[in-house]
Amino acid sequence: MISKNNITRSAKTLKQLISRCESYGEFGEDGSLRLPVEKTECSFVSISKETLLEYESSGMTILDLHQKLEEQMGDREWSDVSIDIQMPKQKLRTKIF
């Protein structure tokens, strides 16, 4: 999924990207631009209704269930990787009176 801040939504041309990043002060001393990147991977975990009912009857909380499912995540296959390259955000400029 592409965020609202993705460079493809924030700038239509490279010239616009360069101009915007210059005005935000995003180019480093070496002239390089560092763009924020988010990487998301998806997988699924299955649990039967019977198992959930067993956990409920034993007094398991949602937090306990979450921790139990987290432990199983190491065994999962991950796919559907999405990468979101984002536009740097304008730095807030505050004036002190």
How does pLDDT run along the chain (97 residues), one tens digit per residue?
567 677 778 788 889 888 888 888 888 889 888 877 877 777 777 888 999 999 999 999 998 998 888 887 776 676 766 777 677 666 666 656 5
pTM of this prediction? 0.47
**Which amino acid, one-letter code, is at 94?**
T
Q: Which residues contact 33 (CB under 8 A, 6 or more apart)?
A: 21, 26, 27, 88
Q: Whole-angstrom distance between the N-terminal and C-terminal Cα of the chain?
A: 42
- C-alpha dist (Å) from residue 58 to 51, 53, 65, 84, 93: 11, 9, 12, 42, 55
Buried b or exposed e, range 46-71, using 16+ CB within 10 angstroms: eeeeeeeeebeeeeeeeeeeeeeeee
Identify any residues that bridge with 37 across adjacent strands, giving them in sequence order.
Answer: 85
